[in-house]
Structures are given as structure tokens and as C-alpha cells.
Amino acid sequence: MELRIVVRRARKIVLITLFLLLILLSVFLFVIQSILDGIGLQYTIESYASVGTVYRSDAENAAFTPVEEDVLALLAESDAVQKIDIRQTLSAKVHGMENVPSYFAVPQTNHLVFFRGTVLNQMDVPADASVSYHARYATVRVDSILAGQSNWITKGKNVDVAIIWNGDPECSTTVGEEYCFLAHSSFSSALGMLDTLLYAPNYTEESVAGYEKIQSNYELYHDTVLPVPDSMSGEEADAYFLDILKSRGLDPYIQEIKELDDVFTIRQTSDMQMLIPVANEVMFFTAGRGIRPDDSGKKVCVISHELAAQQKLNVGDYIPISLGNGCYTDNGYESGFPAFGELSTVSYNTPQDYEIIGIYAFSSFDPREATLLFGYNDIFIPTSTETIPPSKNTYPYTLSFCVGGPEYNTFLDTTVADLSDMGYTVQMSASRWEDVESTYEAMASRRRLTLLCAILSCIAGIILYVLILLFLYRKEFALRELFGASFRHTRKAYTIPFAVSSVIASVLAVFAAYLWYLYRLVPQTELIAPGRTPANAQILAVLTALALIQMLMTYILILCLAGHSRRKSVLRLLK
């Protein structure tokens, strides 16, 4: 009987279905716009937020001095600080992939290179009364690499060597003669050389102790330029030199250098946007994107442009990473590589495939820059409590905190003052919040307006829909009342048309709104806030939930008004 009523009065069901469809579409569009505005607001705060770290004001080597726990607690309790990222460091191996030649921050064992070469030209540096050492710069043709990362220097190419010595005996070299060198890669801003300069130091034992070098490593610091006998050449000269190295107990370092070719430094982070170099645009992405909070626990990584170019890797490729059970610390600097003249102690897990989602590069690179302290062999992966134990120390270069634009001045007036009293200096990236503050306020006002419109559309639309429904089907309701039917039966005169119209309207509205979101709003949102668009399943869930809430509210209102209609005269309902 109820279905006959719906079919017989088809124009009525079409009318209320179309009306309800318009109501749902208006509510959906306002809600979706409000969601996207919220994403835009958050993205604006994040994009124009200021990222910072803290240093001990009285520390001589502040970048490598641990941050006290009281300072971390103060930052965590500050209302102006949005979030904190404390990066964990791990040593890792990527089997089958050679790392990039890169001197960085502190000398490391993989910077050692033992080679044979011919001096092409040389120049002594004038003695300076303020220093106790002598220096000579020489251009050397590399004839043979005996031990060392093969891509530091290539056989047949020239390399610049800085020979430094102290004490009375002069380090003598002659142009055209062949020598064996014990050297390590270095960086010279004075010479403008990176990755092409090698140091061959010849220090006395007393001087090594004065430099606080490990005493057992003295063999690495003396007799580092050895003449090749005139009667020897080629493989015979190499064997002669290797015998000398063995007699000095340097075999472990020769093996160590080979073991370090596929070692990298892993930086675990929750959000690469919180790296100060990224915030200051010194470090940027040439392809893909950085690690985001929603990557937590995923097997994804971000590598350097130099590594990607050397290994011919692209976004979407996979690399097998074996995470280590720790890292190495050299005077406060954490790295995946042992300190210069030390040997490996970290063990590595079974390799797992990580997808490359981004490639980073530096607009300028100075390995001594205290706020940078990231290098070409750093691989970034998301944080994961499953494999990484908590770090014993937090250093300024492993700590970042984010202050949203609206809270920037409050942070300066409150938290910074407290940190200063605790003996810390705050370093912040540029905020530029004033450039977007007016836009942010306008967007926030629009979002409040769309939310209000969504609520009013929902409430007003439900009331009008119910009133129209009751008006169109009042006679069917009255006839049932006239024949003495129970309320459970009479209310079906309203609820059945409601059920049919609401289901049809909800399905059409969800489908239309989803298509509008997918093909119209998503492309626009990706241009404004890339990577922040909600997943399609989330939007479908929101739309479905809104439709169900509307149906429930409408059903309750219909029952209430239907009960009120029973108290009216049947004749009035039949008019």
C-alpha cells in the first residue's frame, strides 16, 4: 500500500527528492569548502612558520654541545611552540651502492686514502710566525690508489695535496718524482676546493698528543709522504708501499676503508620542513618531496641529488637499506661513519627496500656551517619507534621546533626570554608572517562563514523539507487516522516517502559532490597546498556521515510533527 502511494503520487516524490538534493548539495559544498580552507590555513601557518633550535650561549663548541632536558621541557610546555622534532641518527649500509665523496663537519675514517703519485708542481707557503707548522701545496698525478674510496680520486687524474709538517726535519718533495702518500680528504675555503684537496700531515708524536689525537693513531700522522725508490715502479712500488703500511700496523684501516664504501648516515625525522636549511631555502627538493608526519612507519626515504646522479636513481626507485644498531659520535657530532682513525663497531640489520620519495640539494654548501650539518651521504627516513632506541643526547643540529606565524611575537616575548635566562641562544629562520597575515585572516573569516552557512543550510533545509513533506502527504495521513489506524501505521504516510526521497537524494548528492571535489577542487588544492588534500576515502566518509546525520535529524523531526498532527482535526488535514 505504501509503495502504491509513492508510485501514485510520483510528482510529489520527485518534488521532495529534488528539494532534499539541493539541501544536501549546499551543505556538502559548504562543508568541503570549509575542510579545504582549514587545510589552507594550516598549510599557511606551516609554510610561514619559523623553525628554530637552541645553543648554549657560553659553550665554545655550541653546535656540538648537548641541550639540557630542562630546555626541552620548556619548549614542550610552551603554547607558542607547535611541534618539536628531535632527529635520531643511525649508521646504515646500502648494499651495492657506493656513497658520495664528501668531506663533512669532522674528518672520518672513510676520508683516508693511500695512493702513489707523481708531483707535477709545488709551492711552499710562506712561514708565519704565529703558527708552528710549515705547509706546501702540490699538484700530484695519481698513478695508483692502494687503499681508499675509489671515487675520491681517479687514476690518471690530478689532485691537489696540502703537505703539512711541524718540527725541524723538512718534508722534502721534488717535482717529477714519485711518492706514496697517506692522506685524507678535506675542504679548503681559502683555495676554493671541495672534494679535490687532500691533506698529508707529518706531525711529531708530541704534536699529535697536543692536538688531542688518539695516541694509537700516531701511525696515521707521521711519514705520510714516502719517496718511491728509483729502481721501483708500478705494482712493485705498490707492494713496497703496502709492506710499509703493514709494518706500521695499518692493515685494519685498509680493510676498514673498503667496508665503508656503502655506509651512509640515516637521519630519522618526523617532518623535513622543520629542518632549518629547508626553512631558509638553503636546502631544497629537486624532485619529489620531503618526509611528512603521515609517513611515520613507512619504508620511504629522501636522498641527495649528488647520490641520485651518481647512482642514476629517481623518485619511485627502491634502495635496500640495512639499518645499524647505533651511530658514531665525534666530539658531539653524530654520524654514520667512524671518527678519523677509528674502526667500525656498529652491526647492521637485514636490508629492507625503501622507496625514494624525494631528492634534495643545497643552493650553497659549507660543511662547517653549524646550522646545516647535513651532507650528501645523509639519507632521511620517517621516525619509527619500532627500530630506533631513544637518543642519549639531543644536540642543536638534531633539534628543531616550529613556531606558527601568529605566535611568533609571543614566543619572542616569553619563551625566548626564559631560554636566555637559562643560558641559551635561540636561532630562528625568517618568519615572513607579515606578508600573509591579511590573507590568513581573510581565509579564516571565510571558513567561519562557510561553517555557519553549512549549519544554517542544514537546519533550515530540514525544517522546510519536513514542512513540505507533511503538507504534500497530509491527506494520506488523515485518511489513516479517519479509519482508526494506529500511529505506527499512520506515520508511514510520511516516513515511506521520506525514506524513498532521502535515499535517492543522498546517493545523488554524495556522488555529485564527490565528483565536484575530485575533478574541480583537488587540482586547485594541490596547487595551493601540495600533498595536503584529504584522501578520497576520507571525503566519501565525511559526505556519507553528513547524509546519515541529515536523515536521522529529519526522521526525528517528522515523528515529532506527525505526533503533533494527530491532535488536529481530520477535516483540517483533508482540506
Cα distances (Å, whole numbers) of residue 279 to 51, 283, 401? 7, 8, 12
- 537 or 301, higher pLDDT: 301
The lowest-confidence range among 67-81, 260-274, 532-546 is 532-546
**Using an 8 Å Cβ cutoff, are 292 and 271 in contact?**
yes
For residue 234, pLDDT beyond 70: yes
pLDDT of residue 386: 45
The lowest-confidence range among 1-15, 190-204, 415-429 is 190-204
Cα–Cα distance between 54 and 420 in angstroms, integer? 10
Measure CA 393 to chain center.
Answer: 21
For residue 574, pLDDT beyond 80: no
Helices 251-259 and 234-247: crossing angle in degrees, nearest 10, is 110
Q: Which residue has the cell 648516515?
A: 265
| Buried/exposed code over 206-238 (b: 16+ C-beta within 10 A; e: otherwise) | ebbeeeebeeeebbbbbebbeebeeeeeeeebb
For domain 109-259, the CATH superfamily is: Copper binding periplasmic protein CusF (2.40.50.320)
pLDDT of residue 193: 41
If you average pLDDT over each of 37-41, 353-357, 361-365, which comes out highest? 353-357
Tell me the per-residue pLDDT of 438-453, one tens digit each, with 9 for 90 and over.
888 888 888 898 889 8
Interacting residues of 512 by C-beta distance below 8 A, sequence separation 6+: 25
The predicted model gives 52-57 an average pLDDT of 90
Band of residue 128 on the pLDDT scale cut at 50, 70, 90: low
Cα–Cα distance between 136 and 142 in angstroms, integer? 18
Q: Dihedral of CA 500/502/503/509: which sign? A: positive
Beta partners for 119?
Answer: 140
**Residue 163: closest CA among 140, 129, 189, 195:** 140
**Using an 8 Å Cβ cutoff, are 562 and 491 in contact?**
yes
**Residue 208: closest CA among 167, 168, 245, 247:** 167
pLDDT of residue 17: 84
**Using an 8 Å Cβ cutoff, are 156 and 142 in contact?**
yes
**Residue 351: closest CA among 380, 376, 387, 316:** 387
Cα distances (Å, whole numbers) of residue 443 to 133, 381, 401? 64, 34, 25
Give me the chain's average pLDDT, please: 81
Band of residue 382 on the pLDDT scale cut at 50, 70, 90: very high
Tell me the per-residue pLDDT of 101-110, one tens digit each, with 9 for 90 and over.
776 667 777 7
Domain spans of the chain?
2-45+437-574, 50-82+404-433, 83-96+262-402, 109-259
What SS3 state is found at 218? helix
The lowest-confidence range among 43-47, 332-336, 352-356 is 43-47
The lowest-confidence range among 12-16, 46-50, 418-422 is 46-50
Tell me the per-residue pLDDT of 130-170, one tens digit each, with 9 for 90 and over.
666 778 888 899 888 888 876 666 656 788 888 888 766 57
Q: Give the phi and the psi of residue 15 in degrees, each rounded to 5.
A: -65, -50
pLDDT of residue 255: 86
**Using an 8 Å Cβ cutoff, are 121 and 178 in contact?**
no
The predicted model gives 186-195 an average pLDDT of 49
**Residue 334: closest CA among 87, 89, 22:** 89
Give the three cell numbers for residue 502: 532521502
Torsion of CA 503, 507, 508, 513, to 10 degrees: 130
Band of residue 287 on the pLDDT scale cut at 50, 70, 90: very high
Interacting residues of 104 by C-beta distance below 8 A, sequence separation 6+: 335, 367, 375, 376, 377
**Residue 363: closest CA among 424, 248, 281, 444:** 281
**Residue 55: closest CA among 332, 333, 291, 395:** 395
Pairing between β-strand 158-166 and β-strand 88-94 as defined by DSSP bridges: unpaired
Q: Give the phi and the psi of residue 165 in degrees, each rounded to 5.
A: -145, 160
The predicted model gives 465-479 an average pLDDT of 75
Element at 209 (helix H, strand E): helix 205-210
Element at 345 (helix H, strand E): none
- 261 or 526, higher pLDDT: 261
Give the three cell numbers for residue 457: 543550510
The predicted model gives 470-490 an average pLDDT of 66
Cα–Cα distance between 262 and 340 in angstroms, integer? 17
